[in-house]
Amino acid sequence: MTAVMSKKVLGLAPMSNNKMIRSFISEKAQALILPMAGIFCFMLLWSFTASSIDTSLGKFPGPSAVATQVVNLIDEHNAERDKEDAFYIRQDARNKLRMAKDPSYQPKVRIYTGKETFLDQIFTSLVTVISGFLVAAVIAIPLGIAIGLSKTLNTAINPIIQIFKPVSPLAWLPIVTMVVSALYVSPDPMFAKSFITSLITVTLCSLWPMVINTSFGVASMNQDWVNVSKVLSLPKHVHIQKIVLPASIPAIFTGMRMSLGIAWMVLIAAEMLAQNPGLGKFVWDEFQNGSSQSLSRIMTAVLTIGLIGYLLDRTMLQLQRILSWDKSSAQL
């Protein structure tokens, strides 16, 4: 197929219209049918093996058990929202009563105290991973550019990066937790401590791939472009803006995509370990509950985590396509 495509592109062997349409259809069909077949086989294999594994919590959940749980979890979410509405109505009534007794009282609306549903947990995890990732990007990209441009800086910082890069952020977690508890003290904090802890953990693990890839991209820039910039004697900031950034976008995005993938994996583990709100906590809580539904709920969470990880990656790719001048670099 690629051979045909390249020929077409190069215009070496002009095809008849008919042939082109046929090849287009078969290409589309393949892109659709093959994955479908793969998923179907996987489902078959999954439900077959699931039914033959017996755990002390009952049978291993198959596709149908997971489907049931998806419905359950959404129902639970809706039920919780109803409870939330009732909570606010009760609170409002209580505030009014107190105001009637004590006119100087300033009514205050407190946020809902009920449990976080599965959908809430997904949202929490997503917000955490994206914020941690953005913080990392803000630090890593300028740092990477600086390192890539200056050999001196590179030699100075490289050993530190090499030492910290292989450290699992989970090893940092206890230290981060203690430091956050000690330093992040305010009577009315804007963010929860658990959120800050998770965010820093995500930042720590997203940092290194981005720094390394960015500096690599900058350092391996096409020398001709650098020379052009020199000839035009562009000021430093214009040089970075017009030459360095566009040239290293593909490498930066490779680093970002890698980071985001790692960050998402690490976040789930960190949430499990630190009991911070999010999908990881959901999985751990269900494991602790040990009810007959626990395994299928965990399985649902596992698939959700995978799906979200995939979507995050695709989003980054789409972003790269939009930002990059060289569209061919943004391939899967």
Partner 1 sequence: MLKTTLKNECKKLCRTVIAGLCIYGALLTSSLQAAELGYPEKEELKFGFIKLTDMAPIAIAYEKGFFEDEGLYVTIESQANWKVLLDGVIDGRLDGAHMLAGQPIAATIGYGTKAEIITPFSMDLNGNAITVSNEIWKQMKVNIPKQADGRPVHPIKADALKPVVEKYLDEGKPFNMGMVFPVSTHNYELRYWLAAGDIHPGFYAPHKGDTSGKIDAQVLLSVTPPPQMPATMEAGTIYGYCVGEPWNQQAVFKGIGVPVVTDYEIWKNNPEKVFGITKVFAEKYPNTTIRLTRALIRAAKWLDDNNNANRPEAVKILSQSNYVGADYDVIANSMTGTFEYEKGDVRSVPDFNVFFRYNATYPYYSDAIWYLTQMRRWGQISDDKPDSWYKDIAAKVYRPDIYMAAAQSLIDDKLMSKSDFSDLVGEDGFRAPQKHFIDNIVYDGTQPNAYINKFKIGLKAGDKL
Instruction: Count the neighbouring beta carbons within 10 Å of the beta carbon of residue 157.
Output: 16
56 binds partner 1 (CB under 8 A): yes
Strands 54-55 and 58-59: antiparallel
113 binds partner 1 (CB under 8 A): yes
Tokens of 225: 């472009």
CB of 176 to partner 1, least distance (A): 15
Say how far apart CA 278 and CA 194 lie, in whole Å.
Answer: 10
Say how far apart CA 300 and CA 70 lie, in whole Å.
Answer: 7
Determine the size of the site formed for partner 1 (CB under 8 A).
Answer: 23
Q: Please select the residue that binds partner 1; options are 51, 162, 292, 315, rule is CB under 8 A.
A: 292
110 binds partner 1 (CB under 8 A): yes
96 binds partner 1 (CB under 8 A): no
Q: Please select the residue that binds partner 1; options are 6, 241, 275, 315, rule is CB under 8 A.
A: 275
78 binds partner 1 (CB under 8 A): no
Q: Please select the residue that binds partner 1; options are 60, 267, 286, 312, rule is CB under 8 A.
A: 286
Q: Please select the residue that binds partner 1; options are 8, 59, 193, 242, rule is CB under 8 A.
A: 193
Q: With respect to partner 1, which residue has the nearer C-beta, 19 or 94? A: 94
Quick check: 274 and 173 in contact, CB under 8 A?
yes
**DSSP result, 199-241:** HHHHHHHHHHHHHHHHHHHHHT--HHHHHHHHHTT--HHHHII
Beta bridge partners of 54: 59
- Quote the radius of gyration of the chain (alpha carbons, Å): 26
**Distance of alpha carbon 73 from its chain centroid, rounded?**
22
181 binds partner 1 (CB under 8 A): yes
Judged by CB under 8 A, the stretch of 40-48, 154-162, 288-296, 306-314 that binds partner 1 is 288-296
Point out which residues bind partner 1 (CB under 8 A): 56-57, 90-91, 94, 98, 108, 110, 113, 115, 181, 193, 275, 284-286, 288-292, 294, 297
